Amino acid sequence: MKYLLLVALLLIPSAALVAQEEAKADSVFGWNNEVVGSLNLAQTNFDNWSQGGENSLSWQLNVNAKSVNDRENYNWSNAGKISFGAVKVGDQETKKSVDEIKLESVLTYKITHILNPYIAATGETQFAKAYDYSTTPKLEISKFMDPAFFTQSVGAGYAPSAVFKTRLGAALKETITNVHLQYSDDPDTPEKTEKSRVEVGAESATDFSCKVAENMLLTSKLELFSNLESFQQIDVKWDTILSAKVARYVDVNLNVKLFYDRDISRKRQLKQALALGLTYTIL
């Protein structure tokens, strides 16, 4: 985990350099809203195909929304991400491939040009049930609001430019479950079972967004949380997307997501997805 912290620190001078190169634009106060949706499809069908293969159909829907109220004395930024997808291969039942609901709200009070106090709240869960298909019968391992993760924090934010911003503060993290207690139960208290877990610690969130080419955008968000008990118990969420627009309504997206939470798994978790699909800006 120490290498992730090193990367985050290295991004700070890079972002400052980008800020120096950017031209200063006149401030425009008020609400700025954006909603972008994308749909990715992949289908294969075989009929009397001697080389073999199975019919397959996969799809994924993504909606990213942002609503920012920028005023002279404060900035209120709200963001939401919804992703859901499924895949069907041959005669097997349809299985979900992507399922995520994430909301974030950050209120920043402007004192200086780059370093300002903030309060923030985030929430994360999923839509549908998920199963472990390695067992017979299949075993349900999660569902809507089971688990659900909520974090509230207060601290200071550093934003030298629109390309880079980071924040660090004291945080309260809640994990809520109902049936799937493996996400919240404390192994150190075998005499009782907990349906919720509350951790007090420190949170860091870093956003990086850069246009690496005329039609290519790189966005990355690194979130760290520590309950301050041990350096090895830092929770990590690192979500990076490289998006390229190949036509007016057609995008190619490469998404790499790294996740580590010692309470859930002692090993890091990694997800990678490459998709070609239709993208439409609603607002």
For the chain, what percent of residues have pLDDT higher than 70?
Answer: 90
pLDDT at 2 over 60: no
Residue 3 banded pLDDT, cuts 50, 70, 90: very low
Residue 32 lies in a domain: no
Residue 127 banded pLDDT, cuts 50, 70, 90: very high
Residue 28 lies in a domain: no
Residue 157 lies in a domain: yes
Q: What is the count of structural domains for the chain? A: 1
Residue 67 lies in a domain: yes
CATH of the domain at 90: 2.40.160
Mean pLDDT over the full length of the chain: 88
The torsion angle over the Cα atoms of residues 236, 38, 275 and 40, rounded to 10 degrees, is 130
User: Phi/psi at 96 (nearest 5 deg)?
Assistant: -75, 145
Residue 228 lies in a domain: yes
pLDDT at 119 over 80: yes
Can you give the residue range of the structural domain that contains 149? Answer: 2-20+39-45+54-281
Residue 276 lies in a domain: yes
Amino acid 133: pLDDT: 92
**Given the DSSP bridges, would you call strands 196-213 and 216-226 parallel, antiparallel or unpaired?**
antiparallel
245-260, pLDDT tens digit by residue? 988 889 999 999 999 9
Sign (positive or negative) of CA dihedral 192, 197, 202, 203: positive
Alpha helical stretches, state H, the chain: 2-21
3-state SS of 197-221 is: EEEEEEEEEEEEEEEEECCEEEEEE
List, as one string, the DSSP characters of 253-271. EEEEEEEE-TTT-SS-EEE
162-211, pLDDT tens digit by residue? 899 999 999 999 999 999 998 998 877 888 889 999 999 999 999 999 99
Residue 107 lies in a domain: yes
pLDDT at 239 over 60: yes
Question: In the structure encoding, which two tokens stand for residue 174, read together?
Answer: 């809640």
Residue 30's identity, in one-letter code, is G
Residue 229 banded pLDDT, cuts 50, 70, 90: confident
Residue 231 banded pLDDT, cuts 50, 70, 90: low
Segment 150-162 shows an average pLDDT of 94
Segment 91-106 shows an average pLDDT of 95
- 225 forms beta bridges with 203, 235
pTM: 0.83
Amino acid 27: pLDDT: 56
Residue 187 lies in a domain: yes
pLDDT at 139 over 70: yes
pLDDT at 118 over 80: yes
Tokens 């390695």 correspond to 134
Judge contact between 201 and 52, C-beta under 8 A: no
Amino acid 232: pLDDT: 67
